[in-house]
Amino acid sequence: MENTINGIHHITAIAGNAKRNYDFYTKILGLRLIKKTVNFDDPETYHLYYGDKEGTPGTVLTFFPWGNIQTGRRGSRQATEIGYSVPEGSLDFWLKRFEDHNVTYNKISEKFGEQYLTFLDPDGLKLELIASKTPDNRLPWETDEVKAENATRGFYNVTITTNKMQPTADILTNVFGYRLLEQHVNRFRFITDAVDNAAIVDLVEVPGEIAGHVAGGSVHHVAFRVKNEEVLMQYRDKIAALGLHITEKIDRNYFYSLYFREPGGVLFEIATDNPGFSVDEPVEELGSHLKLPAQYEQYRTQLEETLPSLY
């Protein structure tokens, strides 16, 4: 795990109403709100982070909830599906839960020999619950209604839809160290052996698909995980050497980041494990307080009045 890409770090998406987003992910899906902060570029908008107890990389789904955002459109050049790992035998629980809470879902299906359940969040973001053939031993976050025997364990995979899969596959294999695990029709499954979980990227090749529109209910970017800043900058050199534009290192308070757009059009981030989400509030209190980047602390009173209530 030292000098490698260690699977998915986090995935960031765009939502509409912030309270609706909070209610869905904490009350229906049973995730923990691990950080309540603001968008670095738009401080009157939240940046909400959901995950397990500690915000372990590979479990963290984040949102920019822009209240009046138009609805996006799934298509090529996008990350189009987010897959969560759940225990075998739990999909019936989730079917009933989605039925009880009027969540849009499809019937249980199967791919690569594993059962999965597709559903949409209130903004139309497409997610999947996947009963993995390989036991997932990550400790789940539990709520009163979603106990360990059914709870999500973190990410299983992310799916990217592309017109031509090879350029993206080249980044995954030649730069990130993934390998092609298996293929079914036009779905190509890539995996890294560096970690046991959150290790899979599926590329779906659809040559005639029109480009999607990233807006409400869309994935904004996919972040891949590295151990620390030293490894981060090694990857910056590798990607810059390919002639791709990549940002300078950016301090996101809870990790350090680089961003680049891979040849298939999806915005990729590389993010560090350090310093982690407990750098500014203890694990027991994660998500309890509005945490502001230093440059916005002087506007705290104004922002607390402007940002919508989540509770």
Mean pLDDT of 255-261: 98
Whether pLDDT at 130 is above 60: yes
What 3-state DSSP class applies to 45? Answer: strand
pLDDT on residue 2 = 73
* Residues listed for the chain: 311
pLDDT on residue 14 = 98
Q: Where are the domains of the chain?
A: 8-306
Residue 266 dihedral angles phi and psi, to the nearest 5°: -90, 135
pLDDT on residue 164 = 97
* Threshold 0.75, pTM exceeds: yes
Tell me the C-alpha distance between 159 and 150, whole Å.
Answer: 23
Amino acid at 236: R
Percentage of the residues of the chain whose pLDDT score is greater than 70: 100
Tell me the C-alpha distance between 131 and 256, whole Å.
Answer: 32
Mean pLDDT of 28-56: 97
pLDDT on residue 161 = 98
pLDDT digits (tens, 9 = 90+) for 20-41: 999 999 999 999 999 999 999 9
Percentage of the residues of the chain whose pLDDT score is greater than 90: 97
8-306 under CATH 3.20.20.480, yes or no:
no
Which residues, 6 or more positions from 301, have their beta carbon under 8 angstroms from its beta carbon?
none
pLDDT on residue 1 = 57
Tell me the C-alpha distance between 310 and 175, whole Å.
Answer: 40
Amino acid at 268: F
pLDDT digits (tens, 9 = 90+) for 179-200: 999 999 999 999 999 999 999 9
Mean pLDDT of 282-300: 96
